Chains A and B, each alone.
Chain A
Amino acid sequence: MRTYAGHSDAQRSNELYRRNLAKGQTGLSVAFDLPTQTGYDPDHELARGEVGKVGVSIAHRGDMRTLLHDIPLDKMNTSMTINATAAWLLALYIVAAEDEGVAEGQLQGTTQNDILKEYLSRGTYAFPPGPSMRLIADTIAYTVTHVPKWNPINICSYHLQEAGATPVQEIAYSMSNAIAVLDAVRDRVEESLMGEVFGRISFFVNAGVRFVEEHAKLRAMGQLWEALGRERYGVEDPRQLRFRYGVQVNSLGLTEAQPENNVYRIALEALAVTLGRDARARAIQLPAWNEALGLPRPWDQQWSLRLQQILAYETDILEYGDIFEGSKVMDGLVVELVQGARHEMERVADQGGAVEAVDYMKAALVESHRERWQRIESGELTVVGMNRFQETEPSPLTAADDGGILVVDPAVEQERREALEAWRAERDEGKVRAALDALARVAKDDGENIMPASIAAARAGVTTGEWSQTLREAFGEYRAPTGVGEAAAVSSDDVAELRDEVERVSEALGRRLKFLVGKPGLDGHSNGAEQIAVRARDAGMDVVYEGIRLTPSQIATSAAQEGVHVIGLSILSGSHAELIPAVLAALKEAGAGEIPVVVGGIIPEADAAALREAGVAAVYTPKDWDLNRMMRDIVGLVAERNSVPA
């Protein structure tokens, strides 16, 4: 039982962890901020507005030591949600433990370390697919011999569902991903270790509110996993063949409207992964009720922890054997899912495997998500409080002075920059240089394991940004596919009127209405931006969509050069207060200050008012789920700004 936590700097997060452990939490789940996840130091241009926002900022071994202060590392199980830079954060963890006199062989925990889902959904990748798979294989090969109790990778199907995956897609793509990882490791370890490697692979799955089907999904994954171990990798030990998974229940279905209802959703979703013993999660992490509003406060996290404790200690679910044994309905569902997944896995394999099929899978997910959204819009899919039963009394939960969410002190970023400067000033530059040179050499030699050089760099005081930059230079930069190009067009009836209006306004403008959809900063949650881009195209606009991770000056340059009529910016990481004004300023500087800007994201009302004050034409939040209405607003805005009569 744990809650995913961490914010600001190492010291504040350490205090939070120690409080949570005192309340009965049994392990740590570390949330890192986006610069740490994507390999940038707090003083990098792209880190602006993101430092300490969605997690803790860790730039070097000193930060890691502070983060783990007074926490017994020989006993603690630490789960780190870290992917692109997993090898580095593991190196820092090993060195921090070494400083405390704990040997690496005693460490227990998990690095998420799953890169494919970053291309498909979460967006915090740093390197191209090939070298990323090598980093994963290196950490697995290293831990299996040096840190045997470590789970070096947690293959995530979770984020696939968040990106719109159907249960079949969630199973098939995560299993295909596992195959790609295992195949890569097979080249790097002795054959005799493959059983051990297989047994150390764990999964991180999602559980949605259709909890009966979701339970079947987990049983299906268990079956497929065992078959994969036996058939492809020759594993025979039943202990190694067990499908081990942790779970974070669904965030996609959590609503901003009537957010208190999310508590029920979370409870039902938790049942999906606990009800049947044969497919029960080993670790559960529950989101907080207010995730769609902003960052949860400690109290919100406590509320989630209590739900897990009630399930475990008050209910009787742990007292029985598998309650679905012999159920025809459950068995039928499982068979259906296994067959569907096998079929989809073949399609991925036909393209050469998961790495080669990233484009295909991304496009399939964008398409599924689009379909789901259309069903919500048409009312075919009910989301209580959002597209049905919208009437509500004012909620006392969101009436607090803080709006019911946690606000990270904006001074943290400046503090972190200064602390980093001090760290750099105090370390031995010669040693740092030598460690980075050695790292660069290893990076270029595919035959060598990256871990020892990374651990040496951690000892020398190298920073997160320096480690990543060295690898970026060796591996090259990468932009993941956006998947939007292939998305099917919505049926014409739904958008016919909208298209007529786009045509009319375009005709009056002299050229087709052109719309820039941008994602400033490091936030990789691109689902919303992708759906907006696809719908705008379907409405007949020319849409410039460049994917994630753009600097304000990139956005401003694009807007000016492309001659767009309107700009839509999407931010879900909570950094809108810094980044949006920065984009507005960059637009003015690029001579494009007159282009109207709309903003979408998880934006509390107080911030929305401030953004409008700063010149943003409109602010959209998850409660604006009707995309056609949003499009009509945007067309109207362009018409108004260009004096096109209604």
Chain B
Amino acid sequence: MSELADRLRAGDLSAAPAVLNLMESRAPGARSEAAELLAAISPASLGREAAAHVVGVTGPPGVGKSSLLSRLVAAWRARGRSVAVLAVDPSSRRSGGSLLGDRARIDHDPADKQVFIRSMAAGDRLGGLAPATRAAAEALAVAFDVVVIETVGVGQSETEVADAADTVAVVIQPGSGDVLQFLKAGIMEVPDVLVVTKADLGRVAERAMSDLRSALGSLGASDTRVVAVSSVPPPSCIDELLDALDAHRDRLDLRARRLWARRAHALAEFAAEYGEHGLRSLGGRRQAQTWLAELDPGLDVPALVRQLQERTRG
């Protein structure tokens, strides 16, 4: 039985750094330990879904995601919730290295033990998430009240986040017409909440809001909430955004969404390990998804990965 799993189950937030170190490690010993940890915090072991609200926050660079997160973290803390932020940044394709700078832009009291921020390099993965983000989010969701997955990009990156989070908020700034285009063209999936930053710009922000609302309406997604916020003093509508995120979570069939997330996680792990070739031997990604959907919903992620492996051999 994993000691880290025990600590997470007991609500020990100080286990977070060690959990991340373990999940990120590719060393064989660490990987089997990570699998044990994931099994020990699976709904089958816990007897319920992990309680946290897993929130994806994504959007193009420069829209003010970090300032927004500063305000969100403060607002969650003011409501007495502990917060873990997994901030994913791209890696250099040439060197494999990365520059991770977001954490300083998220204002928080370093002495506050209820806030945990970890920067994660995406490595050679496309799609917005780092290799260990899903596993980390699943594990931290056992101990924290809120787990945020922050990714950069628009168009594709929110797809993977949507597979991992309960609620996805896409952040855009007024005047970003490309998002509107992406939405209409279906390049981008409709998010659960759309956040328009820089509401202090007044009229420009209002126009952006109404453009988005009408686009959502024509896509038949008029229940997607659009919230305009301002992160500069005086910040505005942060609580409204929090309420919108909470409302989405309350309406959600959490069991179904998490089940979907675990299956997507298993398939991603499998694809990372066996590549295109592996996926082909399952009959392609879509077929693999269909096959996964028929498996026992109680299976944890490592068990699902094993099933996929066995299927390729069978």
Contacts and interface: CB of A to CB of B under 8 A. Distances in A.
17 contacts: A475-B233, A479-B104, A499-B95, A511-B26, A512-B96, A512-B121, A533-B99, A542-B121, A543-B98, A543-B99, A546-B103, A550-B104, A557-B110, A557-B111, A562-B118, A563-B20, A591-B14
- Residue from B100, B111, B116, B123 with most neighbouring chain A CB atoms (10 Å): B100
B147 to A, nearest CB: 14
A492 B94 contact: yes
A477 B67 CA distance: 10
Nearest to A550: B104
Nearest to A533: B99
Given A554-B110, A561-B118, A538 B92 contact: yes
B25 interface: yes
B187 interface: no
Contact of A476 (B20, B99, B118, B232): B232
Interface size class of B (residues with CB under 8 A): 35 or more
A545 interface: yes
B105 A537 contact: no
Contacts of B206: none
A527 interface: no
B95 A537 contact: yes
- Residue from B118, B119, B121 with most neighbouring chain A CB atoms (10 Å): B119
Given A547-B104, A551-B110, A511 B24 contact: yes
Given A479-B104, A510-B24, A541-B97, 20 more contacts: A477-B107, A484-B101, A485-B101, A489-B92, A510-B30, A511-B21, A511-B24, A512-B96, A534-B99, A536-B97, A538-B92, A538-B95, A539-B97, A542-B121, A543-B98, A544-B100, A546-B101, A557-B111, A562-B103, A562-B119
Contacts of A563: 17, 20-21, 24, 118
B93 to A, nearest CB: 9
A558 B87 CA distance: 13
Contacts of B98: 537, 542-543
Contact of B111 (A547, A553, A560): A553
Interface of A: 128, 359, 473-477, 479, 482, 484-485, 489, 492, 495, 499, 502-503, 507, 509-512, 533-534, 536-547, 550-551, 553-554, 556-558, 560-563, 591
A540 B97 contact: yes
Contact of A537 (B21, B26, B97, B103): B97
B117 interface: yes
B16 interface: yes
10 shortest interchain CB distances as A-B pairs:
A546-B104, A510-B27, A510-B25, A537-B97, A557-B110, A476-B233, A511-B24, A540-B97, A563-B21, A554-B110
Given A510-B27, A561-B117, A499 B96 contact: yes
Contacts of B116: 561
A550 B108 CA distance: 12
Nearest to B61: A485
Given A499-B96, A537-B95, A547 B101 contact: yes
Contacts of B123: 512
